[in-house]
Chains A and B, each alone.
Chain A
């Protein structure tokens, strides 16, 4: 039988709970100060945080909620709804690989298999050495010269497995 007991917790204090570093805290607060008064500010705020920190740390959620007068559930709901936002710190380089039909028609599936094997990870994962994070994309608008991917938001077209190896090989 379970022996768990109900333990009364003190009221939540945001600063105490947060595992964010002082500089990350300052970043989140800076983004909020700049953008919180926009109409419909939540997406711009989350973009601002992710652009600066590489992800939306879970401890930023209550700060955003408080600042925008939303519930944490609402903010969490938005973070988890949109594929773009991630809650874990990514690797040094983020690769968005297109999986959509136009790229499939020119070898996208073979490239996908190659990239996963080469990096040893699946989508939404980061290599053990924290160099690469792999994300799927559904169309990068480069459909006449696929297969395509974004490396650190730089678009690359006609990516054969060999070109992928050259691209990643040339990266620091």
Chain B
């Protein structure tokens, strides 16, 4: 009899809920029963409330069971890995959560074995690079520009323009500022420190060849022969998957001195960060790669002119680079067709925090928060009403329900001092204390500030103190004025986004939820009255 193919994800979120133990139990039970199975450790579909999501290949498609615990494994086999099981979800591809998404970047999520090159090639992998190898560098850059792809790390700068600058810049000599040479670099920012975001992690762990392909295309486009993936050290599973995939790409001629016989070179290496949030800022990331403290650099010079080791450098977020292969495969027109206004393509939204159906929702720009939170997210995990959501990580504003119908679009968000950022949405129910959240934003900024700018380094600590006094009722009118003034100074007087945006969550909490900042005793009394 043909062995049955069983899938158990190796995504770390699935592992955090017991996927490894389930995989071991399935293998053991199959051996015990003498059933031949082919156990594949696939990536995650991004439906984390169902993890560990076990899938079984059938003629009709892959049938899912989840969430599976070790105790369920025996009964799964007893039911013949068939339909008659309480955890049966039916054909996974047909689940509305997945079926209604527009998965371009995450087309392979949950489907393939992340470190299998054969699997990657069998699922449209390396088609973009094959096209790129036959193109002139300027044509590759033009395709990326034409697609409207903008930096997915948060700043939303047009990727094609960044690439064009690097393409046009004369190469440098590593470490010798101003010297001419041939070196340019591609750097991938995989320092995904924003809470509520995990799309970069899912690519690194779940589709590492996609990132390798995107970076290789970027190298061909601008004439860079070396790339670095700067990955945060909190992602050990991603490190292993990337290194396995890189070794495999080298062994099969997809990386190295002669990519698929084209005579083009691209070398790639993973470098681990060391727990500094600020290194997600591009210039401090470059400092860190150079072996220094992650202090923010002044701009200009732009990294595109003088970046890593003083050489022209493309530095892009994981999702930006991972969006490139599909553009080169299916064309700029295809990609541009998705989205609204100046926000083209798709955004992998990450539903996080207190949400019932937390997971990855890749949709074209223009989808509303309400749709994401209720149609996909299903409301809160706790079952209480959603009070606010923080969009775009710890520097993003807290958005009240009155703005839930705003379309997800860089410009529409920016108009209201909100931020799409990296597409992370953290949901809070009505038990959240917004003064506590505002204080945490300041505390986080104080912990993670690189220390270069005074408003960020000192303002954040003063901000905590002022919020403490405000909620303690110590001259509240004066404290609020002081807090707003301090936020204004941080917004205007910081070099980078950390000090320059940390006031957004603080001010949004203060503006939309002023009652939470009233003196504590009163707030507690009010809560009692409401109960």
Contact = CB atoms under 8 A, between A and B. Distances in A.
B49 A144 contact: yes
Interface residues of A, number: 43
Contact of A105 (B51, B271, B432): B432
Given A141-B192, A145-B51, A146-B353, 16 more contacts: A47-B274, A74-B292, A78-B291, A81-B293, A81-B450, A83-B276, A101-B394, A102-B195, A102-B426, A104-B353, A105-B428, A139-B193, A144-B198, A144-B359, A145-B16, A153-B236
A156 B17 CA distance: 6
Interface in A20-60: 39-44, 46-47
A121 interface: no
Contacts of B448: 138
Nearest to A82: B274
Interface of A: 39-44, 46-47, 68, 74, 77-78, 81-85, 96, 100-106, 137-146, 148, 150, 153-158
Nearest to A159: B16
Name, among A42, A145, A153, the residue most crowded by chain B CB atoms within 10 Å (CB to CB).
A145
A140 B234 contact: yes
A148 B352 CA distance: 12
Interface string B232-243: 011111000000
Contacts of B435: none
A137 B234 CA distance: 8
Given A100-B195, A138-B195, A157-B13, A143 B353 contact: yes
A64 B11 CA distance: 36
Contacts of B354: 105-106
- Interface range for B: 35 or more
Nearest to B192: A141
Contact of A143 (B174, B195, B277): B195
Contacts of B211: none
B338 interface: no
Interface of B: 12-13, 15-17, 48-49, 51, 174-175, 192-198, 200-201, 233-237, 271-277, 288-294, 309, 350-355, 358-359, 381-382, 390, 394, 424, 426-429, 432, 437, 440, 444, 447-448, 450
Nearest to B377: A144
Contacts of A100: 195-196, 394, 444
Contact of A150 (B234, B294, B352): B234
Contacts of A78: 291-293
A89 to B, nearest CB: 18
A153 B269 CA distance: 22
Contact of B13 (A41, A46, A142): A142
A65 to B, nearest CB: 12
A106 B355 CA distance: 9
Contacts of A41: 291
A166 B196 CA distance: 26
B273 to A, nearest CB: 8
A97 to B, nearest CB: 12
A141 B51 contact: no
A157 B195 contact: no
